[in-house]
Amino acid sequence: MPITVVGSIAYDAVKTPFGERERMLGGAAVHFALAASFFEEVRVVGPVGDDFGESQLEVMRRRGVDVSDIERVTGGKTFFWRGEYGWDLNSRETLDTQLGVFEGFQPKLSQRSRESDVLFLANIVPDLQIEVREQLPDARFVALDSMNLWIDIARDQLVKAIESVDCLILNDAELRQLTGKPNLVSAARDVLAWGTQGSGSARDGSAAGRRGPSVIVAKQGEYGAALVTREGFFALPAYPLETVIDPTGAGDTFAGGFVGYIAAHPDQGLSGDLLHRAMAHGTALASFNVEEFGTERIERLSGEEIVARVQQLSEMTHFNGAPLKLRG
């Protein structure tokens, strides 16, 4: 089922211990769309300036991404982000963020984008996420990502946006920051209790008539990702790579694999099995993303490579849980 995504479409300047790029294609919506395009048709909504190149649009088109709702703002500048990573790639400093054309942007979604069954509100100012959410009131599955910047400067609006979705995908530390809970599981449980009673339809059968997140994914960088629902907990490590070149966009690429897999299996509800497989596909996609700068690796990724890596992940995370005799 087609997916609509709104979020940053960007030029990124990135420096890692392994090299740098001064102006590469980036943005949360772009990383998400390229990853999700392996599963479903993706429609990207957002503005770019007239500095945005045709070749960047072509990167998305080549993966079958519908770019017709990417609006070119005459005289405007494309969203720009500059970041630098520490020696082990675990720490990242944002050196510059220029919203450019996103400032004051009013999303105008085509009929096609409004008809998508699945919506991903990628990282961008929460007011914009809310506006787009309101334009797809009947979407079957809506997920949202955000970041510390918006928790710091627009927390109330972000909470409102989160209350309107089915799934929250956030960095581990940001989930703790958002809820003020130092423990990951209790932080996730807090968010599972958000939302409104009585409006919308029950999607997980556990709380009739309730709207609000029923799936929480905490991204943990090189340690993988954890999934918390009202029914249980699941976690996967990151795929073990010997060489990581640039982690930029790993989270959005994970989200593209995760949400893309869910969109491609509408008949399976939000069962535990489906969510676990979606986690594996998100993890596999993210691992390819970090092998090279920006979108470089995903641009020439094949479906066969994804299938093989998911298989390897499955093998390396299975173990025999047969009871062992303990002393005492």
**Residues lying near ligand AMP in the complex (CB under 6 A):** 8, 10, 12, 26-28, 81, 97, 123-124, 147, 149, 248-252
Minimum CB distance to ligand AMP smaller for 149 or for 308 = 149
Minimum CB distance to ligand AMP smaller for 39 or for 102 = 102
Least separation, in Å, of the C-beta of 33 and ligand AMP?
A: 12
Contacts (Cβ under 8 Å, ≥6 apart) of 127 = 154, 157
Least separation, in Å, of the C-beta of 315 and ligand AMP?
A: 27
Least separation, in Å, of the C-beta of 81 and ligand AMP?
A: 4
Minimum CB distance to ligand AMP smaller for 149 or for 241 = 149
Minimum CB distance to ligand AMP smaller for 141 or for 293 = 293
Least separation, in Å, of the C-beta of 237 and ligand AMP?
A: 18
Least separation, in Å, of the C-beta of 246 and ligand AMP?
A: 9
Least separation, in Å, of the C-beta of 154 and ligand AMP?
A: 11
Q: How big is the CA angle at 166 (ends 37 and 146), to the nearest 5 degrees?
A: 70
Minimum CB distance to ligand AMP smaller for 229 or for 253 = 253
Minimum CB distance to ligand AMP smaller for 147 or for 173 = 147
